Amino acid sequence: MQHHVLIVDDSKLARMVMVSAFRRLRPDWNLTEAVNADEALRAISNGSIDIALVDFNMPGTDGLELVARIRSVDAKMPVAVVSANVQDEIISRARELSAAFVAKPLTDEALAAFLSGAVLKLRKAV
């Protein structure tokens, strides 16, 4: 089944890396890119996003704040915080928001594991 994924990262390079990983892992899924929290929330309010991948270190609203705002409108969407900031504190804050944590540099294995979990979660929610 195809899903619609939102990729939120202020870095073009980081988005390119993410998109190319999707081309290998889930080539038929739809991807939407956002460069900050406002764009991300606008995309989500359109209603077609199933899964979100959110960078932590962004100008303005950071990734954890964005996830908290996503949670206030959608408690169940599978979300991952993606960051090289692998501090225990950041990872546990992501967990508190029921979000996964995926470390940068992104590997296909880590992304695939998150996506498999997300697919299961979406299937259960139906």
Provide the Cα torsion 34, 99, 106, 42; round to 10°.
0
H or E element that contains 51:
strand 51-55
Looking at 89, 109, 124, 126, which residue binds another protein (CB under 8 A)?
89
The smaller minimum CB distance to another protein, of residues 32 and 85, is found at 85
Q: State yes or no: residue 84 binds another protein (CB under 8 A).
A: yes
Cα 111 to chain centroid distance, Å, stands at: 10
What is the pattern of x (binds another protein, CB under 8 A) and - over residues 23-62? ----------------------------------xxx---
Can you tell me the distance from the alpha carbon of 98 to that of 80, in angstroms, rounded to the nearest whole number?
9
Q: Which residues bind another protein (CB under 8 A)?
A: 11-14, 16, 57-59, 83-90, 104-105, 107
